[in-house]
Amino acid sequence: MLQTRQDALGDRFRLQRAAFETQPFPDIGVRKDRLKRLLALTERHEADICAAIDADFGGRSAHETRLAELFVVRAGIRHTMSHLAGWMRERRVATTLPFLPGKNRLLAQPLGVVGIVSPWNYPFQLAVAPVTAALAAGNRVLVKPSELTPAFSALLARLAAEHFAPDELSVIIGDADMGKAFVSMPFDHLLFTGSTAVGRQVAIAAAANLTPVTLELGGKSPAIFDPSCDLDAAASSIAYGKLLNAGQTCIAPDYLLVPKGQAGTVAAKLSAAVARLYPSLRDNPDYTAIISDRHYQRLRDMIAEARNAGAEITEINPAGEDLGSTGRKLLPTLVRNAGPDLRLMREEIFGPVLPILEYADVDDAIDHVNRADRPLALYWFGSDSGNRQRILRETVAGGVTINDSMLHLVQENQPFGGVGASGMGAYHGEWGFRTFSKEKPVFLQSRLSAGAMLRPPYGKTFERLYSLLRYIT
């Protein structure tokens, strides 16, 4: 069965490759038509998409799906359609004096067949947002969604088949072995969103074909409360950012750094902020469950290890409910005095658990961030412009939001991507278009060029002209 599916993958890849060769540079009309169909897929099937994701999670807030997935994708498609003509236009590039009156141009050329591997945590957004960029750039696209969201993956495959020909956009369903076969295909570009550990394996597989990759990974994204911050506003923002999708967000605040002596105060304010967002948890449709039994148990093991090591654990349960028999919902949990060797402090948490650490001064906070792998996101709260500039300039992160959480992700006029262990490359808006294009440099020689005078046979004319070139460059 697996071999049959892998054969089907190869057939679909070859179909798209042949289709691209017959239309290597789709005009703007073709590209906009594909984007319109992608938008229709998004707008006409909202209820089905929300229901499928809810089924996969065993309880996923429909409001979160609509806001964090459908709204974001819809806005991205519309932004792309409104700017596509400008992105496709040949760009003028200055020509240095010795080569005038020749002209330089940059032509954004489609790459061919693009592969996209999307994760389970935001299965619609993290599949369709890169598809938007790849189609806008004129490519054919194959998508491999996560096996942890089978209901949604089947729905996406059906919707793609309804709205697109298989040589335009196609969805490949399968398990981890199919995923390995997928990333081993000779794509013209491969975008993977997922964990750092799997991202390394994807990069190795792609390297065998010299396939360029964009890796959107994760890591331990810090949030820093400066002494100058408004604690109530900051706690409210962190509570929302941490508990959106029950913390199963690649850019969720992973741990919190607060000034020395403030951990207790901040924990109390966070507990109050969580209670305002989620007055109850067990039957609250706004509070999302953990995706699988394995991930649920992983989080419980992390908390148990921290408790046994002497960390102070605060489980936030505003209505005093028993969640033991209600599927995979996990109480929002704060952890103080967590040692650096605990799994909570070594691994990306990816759940509603937030360690709170104290720091002595801004140097200490910067040093703590820089000792770890470079994160996908960093958050800073405060009004001290000097400290803010130091944090921005002396730490390295994929993206930063100041005095809020996660909002840098949804800025279509800014690139989104990681750095170091949190990823490579970027997409969103024009950066996505450029990621899936080859920016081909073109030089247009003029009939008035004097370049022939620099060719053999060399002599006095060459020496005079060469001396002039040395003088003017």
Please report the pLDDT score of residue 451 as a whole number: 80
Report the pLDDT value the prediction gives residue 2, as an integer from 0 to 100.
55
State mean pLDDT over 426-450: 94
| Res 473: pLDDT | 73
Task: Encode pLDDT of 188-208 as tens digits.
Answer: 999 999 999 999 999 999 999
Question: Tokens 């799994």 identify what position?
Answer: 343
Share of the chain above pLDDT 90, in %: 91
At 99, the pLDDT band (50, 70, 90 cuts) reads confident
Mean pLDDT of 157-167: 98
Task: Say if residue 3's pLDDT is above 80.
Answer: no
What is the radius of gyration, based on Cα positions, of the chain? 26
Which of 64, 69, 168, 216 is labelled catalytic? 216
Q: Is 82 exposed, middle or buried (0-12, 13-18, 19+ CB in 10 A)?
A: exposed
Strands 213-216 and 222-225: unpaired
pLDDT digits (tens, 9 = 90+) for 354-410: 999 999 999 999 999 999 999 999 999 999 999 999 999 999 999 999 999 999 999
Say how many C-beta atoms besides its own lie within 10 A of residue 224's C-beta: 27
Domain boundaries, the chain: 2-217+423-439, 222-417
For the segment 218-246, the average pLDDT, to the nearest whole number, is 98
8 Å CB contact between 151 and 160: no
Active site residue 216: yes
Position 471 scores a pLDDT of 79
Q: Do domains 2-217+423-439 and 222-417 have the same CATH topology?
A: no
CB 38 within 8 A of CB 128: yes
**According to the 3-state scheme, what is the secondary structure of 401-431?**
EECCCCHHHHCCCCCECCCHHHEECCECHHH
In which band, very low, low, confident or very high, does the pLDDT at 1 lie, cut at 50, 70 and 90? low
Q: How far apart are CA 143 and CA 128, in angstroms?
A: 9
Dihedral-angle region of residue 221 (phi above 0 means left; psi in -120 to 50 means alpha; beta otherwise) = beta
What is the amino acid identity at position 281?
Answer: L
CA-to-CA dists, residue 1 to 7, 150, 174, 199, 227, angstroms: 10, 17, 11, 26, 60
Distance separating alpha carbons of residues 288 and 58, to the nearest angstrom: 8
Q: What is the pTM of this model?
A: 0.95
Neighbour tally for 55: CB within 10 Å: 15
- Active-site hit among 64, 69, 250, 430: 250
Contact (Cβ atoms closer than 8 angstroms) between residue 96 and residue 469: no
Q: What percent of the chain has pLDDT over 70?
A: 99
Mean pLDDT in residue range 89-101: 92
Residue 8: Cβ-neighbour burial (10 angstroms; 0-12, 13-18, 19+):
middle
For residue 169, the Cα-to-chain-centroid distance in whole angstroms is 20
SS3 content of the chain, % helix, strand, coil (to 5): 50, 15, 35
Look up 229 and say whether it is catalytic: no
pLDDT tens digits, 269-278: 999 999 999 9
Lateral strand order in the sheet of 423-424: 169-171, 140-144, 113-117, 189-193, 213-216, 423-424
What is the pLDDT, as a whole number, of residue 337? Answer: 94
CATH topology of domain 2-217+423-439: Aldehyde Dehydrogenase; Chain A, domain 1 (3.40.605)
* Model pLDDT, residue 324: 77
The topology (CATH level 3) of 222-417 is Aldehyde Dehydrogenase; Chain A, domain 2 (3.40.309)
Model pLDDT for residues 321-363, shown as the tens digit of each residue: 998 766 899 999 999 999 999 999 999 999 999 999 999 999 9
Spatial separation of the C-alpha atoms in residues 188 and 113, rounded to whole Å = 6
Local confidence band at 450 (pLDDT 50, 70, 90 cut-offs) = confident
- Mean pLDDT across 69-95: 97
From 200, 207, 201, select the one nearest 186 (Cα to Cα): 207
Q: Residue holding tokens 């300039």? A: 393
User: Going along 316-376, which residue ranges are E strands?
Assistant: 333-336, 353-359
Q: 254 near 349, Cβ under 8 Å?
A: yes
- At 469 the pLDDT is 83
**Cβ neighbours around 334 below 10 Å, total:** 24
pLDDT per position as a tens digit, 292-327 = 999 999 999 999 999 999 999 999 999 999 987 668
Higher pLDDT, 377 or 1: 377
